[in-house]
């Protein structure tokens, strides 16, 4: 797949604090890449370097084969930064039209407003918008110019469930049209729902990379759940009781656990053996490196 953007051994330091330490990253055409990491892992710094807002101290960044500061590359880019301010005297429609004027082939405005639930607010001044409405507008601006790449830094923070789902639909539709998305998020279910590939940053380094399934598999643990009328005796396993009779066990050997239950004659029912969630894998991987 063609590479849309890349980082090659990128380092960035803020005074004595290293934000990125030798990061390699590629973004391929037509994929959604979720960039995950604890606070301070370097996610926003990475997004700013890819967008040309920051320059690396060492290493190299590419955007559509050019320096990210090159206007020819930036005109193919849409972005929702973590924090956004709008001119308070402009109306929603005017802000969007101002942004679209910088692009050669922007999207039709009315359908875009409707898809993200802003059509009734088109004539309202930005100063009169709620926090959630401002966030929806910030996200809309990333797609308004019909870019090839959208960088979305915590795009759904502060959005209600309905608005978040509308954005998910827009991201999927953008990808299906051949667009590429780099998404940072603290909502792990969001990454699980959208990402073709996941990169976990930790202390400025790439800790893990792969599909959601591959990230789950890296921790080598499965989740065994069953219903039992009383606590089981499971030497070597740590059982977590939920809702009285529901038991959850995290184990690297689910077969041995089930054999133990059967051999001991312990009563159980409703047995489920599943991979850990992306959130559980993320927590285990980052905690191991803390």
DSSP 3-state of 159: coil
Q: What is the domain-level CATH number for residue 22?
A: 3.40.50.300
Neighbours of 110 (CB within 10 A): 11
Distance CA 238, CA 80 (A): 43
150-180 confidence digits (pLDDT tens): 999 999 988 888 889 999 999 999 999 999 9
Pair (271, 129) in one structural domain: no
Pair (153, 204) in one structural domain: yes
Pair (275, 204) in one structural domain: no
Distance CA 134, CA 76 (A): 23
Q: What is the pLDDT of residue 290?
A: 56
Domain of residue 255, residue span: 219-288
Q: What is the pLDDT of residue 84?
A: 84
84 vs 209, higher pLDDT: 209
Residue where a domain terminates, one of 210, 227, 251 = 210
Q: Number of structural domains, the chain?
A: 2
48-69 confidence digits (pLDDT tens): 999 999 999 999 999 999 999 9
Pair (137, 251) in one structural domain: no
Pair (27, 104) in one structural domain: yes
DSSP-assigned letters across all residues of 182-210: EEE-S-HHHHHHH-SEEEEEETTEEEEEE
Q: What is the domain-level CATH number for residue 252?
A: 3.30.70
Pair (189, 228) in one structural domain: no
Pair (155, 64) in one structural domain: yes
Give the chain's count of helices (H) and strands (E).
10, 13
86-119 confidence digits (pLDDT tens): 999 999 999 999 999 999 999 999 998 998 889 9
Pair (179, 275) in one structural domain: no
């Amino acid at each position: 797949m063609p590479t849309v953007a890349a980082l090659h051994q990128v380092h960035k330091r803020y005074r004595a604090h290293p934000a990125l330490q030798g990061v390699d990253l590629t973004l391929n055409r037509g994929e959604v890449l979720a960039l995950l990491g604890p606070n301070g892992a370097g996610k926003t710094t990475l997004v700013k370097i890819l967008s040309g807002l920051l320059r690396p101290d060492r290493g190299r960044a590419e955007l559509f084969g050019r320096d990210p500061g090159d206007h020819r590359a930036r005109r193919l880019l849409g972005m929702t930064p973590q924090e956004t301010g709008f001119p308070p005297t402009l109306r929603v429609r005017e802000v969007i039209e101002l942004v679209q004027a910088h692009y050669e082939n922007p999207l039709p405005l009315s359908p875009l407003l409707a898809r993200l639930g802003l059509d009734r607010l088109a004539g309202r001044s930005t100063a009169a918008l709620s926090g959630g409405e401002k966030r929806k507008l910030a996200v809309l601006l990333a797609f308004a110019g019909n870019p090839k790449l959208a960088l979305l830094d915590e795009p759904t923070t502060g959005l209600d469930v309905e608005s978040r789902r509308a954005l998910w639909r827009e991201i999927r539709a953008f990808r299906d049209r051949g667009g590429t998305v780099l998404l940072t998020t603290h909502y792990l279910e969001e990454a699980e729902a959208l990402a073709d590939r996941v990169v976990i940053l930790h202390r400025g380094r790439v800790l893990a990379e792969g599909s959601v399934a591959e990230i789950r598999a890296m921790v080598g643990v499965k989740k065994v759940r069953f219903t039992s009328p009383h606590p089981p005796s499971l030497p070597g396993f740590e059982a977590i009781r939920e809702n009285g009779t529901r038991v959850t066990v995290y184990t690297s050997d689910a077969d041995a656990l089930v054999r133990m239950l059967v051999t001991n004659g312990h009563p159980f029912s409703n047995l489920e053996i599943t991979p850990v969630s992306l959130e559980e894998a993320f927590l285990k991987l980052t905690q191991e490196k803390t």
